[in-house]
Amino acid sequence: MELLKSSKKYQLFINGEWKNSISNQFIEVINPATGNIVGQVASGNIVETKEAIDAACDSFFSWSKETSKARADILMRLYFLLLENEEYLASVITNEMGKPIVQARKEVQTAAEHFRWNAEEARRIYGQTIQSSEKQKRLSIIRQPVGPVAAITPWNFPLSMVARKLAPALASGCTIVLKPAEQTPISAIELFKLAEKAGVPNGVINLVIGNPKEIGDVLLEDKRIRKITFTGSTEVGKLLYKNAAKQVKRVSMELGGHAPMIVFEDCDLESTVNQVVKSKFNNTGQTCVSPNRIYVQQSIKDSFINLFKEQVQSLKMGYGIDENIDVGPVVNQSGLDKVKKHVEDAIQKGATLVVGGTVSDKANHKNGYFYEPTVLDHVDEQMLITNQETFGPVAPIFSFETEDEVVKKANNTDYGLAAYIFTENLSRSVRVSEALEYGMVGINDTVLSQVEGSFGGIKESGIGREGGPGCLEEFLETKWITSTIRD
Ligand code: NAD
């Protein structure tokens, strides 16, 4: 059942008001599983972005002076509201981006947890006093919010990526202008409705949707916006980073990845294969931490592939609103074209097809963007799939002989987001996790997106971290205060 309606219209949220754009234009949001329109969203550009910035700036003083307890209370109310509305929000996610409902529910829970975690952390913004070497001096360091913030988010986790920015910004005392992805704005709109209900004051959070470049340029050119927090591709991230440099704005960048997954011969094979399948086909391979290079030690490669193939063949693909669907569509036609191109290129350069390899006709909706869960063997360094994010349900398998060899291969990329190791050998797990040039490493574990952890990458995968014990650092400035005391 399609829960959203093609005729339903959604508005922008600026200074506490829901409104259409002055152009009165709308963006159609398409369900990638059915090809149906699931809603129309007001498309605002320069004028609305400026209004949103004005609102974020006008409300900054009062919000930043609010007690951290009052801010935490609002975030906790939002946490409970998200959980109360879990089923509806999950259906919105499934309808606008195609993720199976079971995975969409988890996304709602993760989004909620970000509000809870940041509410808890809001109470722990500490300064310092320092003993001076001079008797008359008093020295201290205080932490203050950076100011009004611009946030730009991707489509692949349309709710939790917004939560990962909104929650720490609000907890720190920052105000915010958010531009979500134009493919999936409805999740963000529903989250803003709940934030309003939770008591976020007018102007503190603002939502603009429309032409990414126009909105992005206005946000970056305005001196009053003191920070940009971005999640998306490395390509767009570099552009924003360059433009942010003109005013030395603070930046946080959560960018693309090309995760190596290293399967050593001493792993627990059955549990490894279960985890590799779950992680690779989660969100139809459209995650920044998706294993894009699966390195399997030569001695166990045949047994690994046999077990892997069996499990991949049993995955059920289709419109994810059905409870038993494991793999949904990719997000749109250009996503599908990229997957096709990577598979064709690999096969043409010598990879062998273990399973899949075609646009699917098995899914129950012929207008959806479905590609069969695919496994490729004999993949090598010359292929596109080894060097670019595929962002689709394709598992490329490589083989290796020694630990040193595989670490070198795994590090041979400009990306540095996530890496995984499967081994039962403790010393090896320590050696290899320390040698991998990545911001996150999973050892016999593929679930990296946990609020308690510091999520983020190194090299061209990003700057800064989201979640974890340092979650508010990205939204706080350090101020050093020194004073001279008279006797
Ligand atoms: P994208 O870079 O195309 O778009 C991301 C956002 O940037 C969207 O809101 C888009 O409208 C906006 N945008 C595009 N061009 C812009 C411009 N010129 N100025 C301002 N904004 C602009 O990425 P996507 O396709 O939406 O998402 C997939 C990418 O995101 C992948 O590379 C994935 O690895 C990455 N990602 C990273 C993380 C992480 O935490 N590191 C998490 C999720 C996704």
- CB of 406 within 6 A of ligand 1: the answer is no
pLDDT of residue 167: 98
Q: Is the pLDDT of residue 71 over 70?
A: yes
Cβ–Cβ < 8 Å for 471, 168: yes
- Ligand 1 midpoint to CA 136 (Å): 52
The tokens describing 234, both together, are: 């490395």
| 8 Å CB contact between 305 and 298 | no
pLDDT average, residue stretch 399-405: 98
Task: Say which residues have a Cβ less than 8 Å from residue 310's Cβ, sequence separation at least 6.
Answer: none
Whether ligand 1 lies within 6 angstroms of the CB of 154 is answered as yes
15, two tokens: 């200074």
d(CA 398, CA 295): 5
Task: Point out the residues that are catalytic.
Answer: 254, 288
Q: Is the CB of 153 under 6 A from ligand 1?
A: yes
Closest atom, ligand 1, to C-alpha of 237:
2
Q: Is 212 in the pocket of ligand 1 (CB under 6 A)?
A: yes
The predicted pLDDT at position 186 comes to: 98
Which of 254, 211, 187 shows the shortest CA–CA distance to 46?
Answer: 211
Find the length of the chain.
487
Please tell me whether the overall predicted TM-score, pTM, comes out greater than 0.75 for this model. Answer: yes
Q: Which residue is associated with the tokens 């059905």?
A: 322
CA of 233 to the centre of ligand 1 (A): 4
Q: How many angstroms does the Cα of residue 232 sit away from the middle of ligand 1?
A: 2
Ligand 1 atom index nearest CA of 239: 18
Mean pLDDT score across all residues of the chain: 97
The rounded radius of gyration (Å) of the Cα atoms in the chain is 23
pLDDT at 2 over 70: no
pLDDT (0 to 100) of residue 399: 97
Whether residue 218 has its Cβ less than 6 Å from ligand 1? no
Q: Where are the alpha helices (DSSP H) in 132-245?
A: 160-172, 185-198, 212-221, 234-245
pLDDT exceeds cutoff 90 at 426: yes
Which residue ranges form the domains of the chain, and what is each CATH number? 9-255+461-480 (3.40.605.10), 259-452 (3.40.309.10)
**pLDDT tens digits, residue range 236-270?**
999 999 999 999 999 999 999 999 999 999 999 99
Q: How far is the centre of ligand 1, averaged over its atoms, from the C-alpha of 67 (Å)?
A: 34
Give, for ligand 1, the residue of 96, 152, 449 to mutate: max count of ligand atoms closer than 8 Å to Cβ.
152
* Mean pLDDT score, 26-47: 96
- Closest residue by Cα to atom 35, ligand 1, is 232
Q: Average of pLDDT values for 80-103?
A: 98
Task: Say whether pLDDT at 346 is over 90.
Answer: yes
Q: Which amino acid makes up residue 358?
A: T
Judge if the beta carbon of residue 152 lies within 6 A of ligand 1.
Answer: yes
pLDDT at position 99 is: 97
What is the structure's pLDDT at 361?
Answer: 73
Ligand 1 centroid, distance to 246 Cα (angstroms): 21
Ligand 1 and 91: CB distance under 6 A:
no
288 CA closest ligand 1 atom index:
34
pLDDT given at position 378: 98
Q: What is the percent of the chain where pLDDT is above 90?
A: 97
Q: Return the residue whose CA atom lies nearest to atom 14 of ligand 1.
A: 212
Distances (CA, A) of 452 to 118, 126, 284, 297, 456: 10, 19, 25, 32, 13
- pLDDT number for residue 289: 98
Instruction: Give the amino acid at 173.
Output: G
For residue 60, pLDDT over 70 is answered with yes
For the stretch 168-215, pLDDT in tens is 999 999 999 999 999 999 999 999 999 999 999 999 999 999 999 999
DSSP 459: G
CA distance 169 to 165: 6
CB 142 within 8 A of CB 127: yes
Using a 6 Å cutoff on CB, does residue 345 contact ligand 1? no
**DSSP code for 318:** S
Ligand 1 atom at shortest distance from the alpha carbon of 153 = 9
Question: Does the C-beta of 232 come closer than 6 Å to ligand 1?
Answer: yes
For ligand 1, pick from 46, 93, 187, 288 the residue to mutate: most ligand atoms within 8 Å of CB.
Answer: 288
Q: State percent of the chain over pLDDT 70.
A: 99
Tell me the per-residue pLDDT of 432-475, one tens digit each, with 9 for 90 and over: 999 999 999 999 999 999 999 999 999 999 999 999 999 999 99
The SS3 assignment for 429 reads helix
Nearest in space to 13 (alpha carbons), one of 239, 198, 190: 190
- How does pLDDT run across 11-34, given as a tens digit for each residue? 999 999 999 999 999 999 999 999
Residue 153 Cα to ligand 1 middle (Å):
6
Q: Name which residue sits closest to atom 13 of ligand 1, judged by CA.
A: 212
Given a cut of 80, whether residue 322 has pLDDT beyond it is yes
The CA 237 to ligand 1 mean position distance, Å, reads 7
Question: Rounded to an integer, what distance in angstroms lies between the CA atom of residue 338 and that of residue 69?
Answer: 47
Q: Predicted confidence band at 366 (pLDDT cuts at 50, 70, 90)?
A: confident
Retrieve residue 326's tokens.
Answer: 């494991």
Atom of ligand 1 nearest to the CA of 180: 9
Is 70 exceeded by the pLDDT of residue 8? yes
Cβ–Cβ under 8 Å, residues 283 and 390 = no
Please give the average per-residue pLDDT across 112-128, as a whole number: 97
Q: Report how far residue 417's alpha carbon sits from residue 435's, in angstroms, rounded to the nearest whole number.
A: 14
pLDDT tops 80 at residue 166: yes
Query: What is residue 151's three-state secondary structure?
Result: strand
- At 365 the pLDDT is 72
Q: Is the CB of 27 under 6 A from ligand 1?
A: no
DSSP secondary structure letter of residue 317: B
- State the first-to-last Cα distance of the chain, in angstroms, to the nearest integer: 77
pLDDT at 152: 98
Confidence class for position 360, pLDDT limits 50, 70, 90: confident
- 182 CA distance to ligand 1 centroid (A)? 11
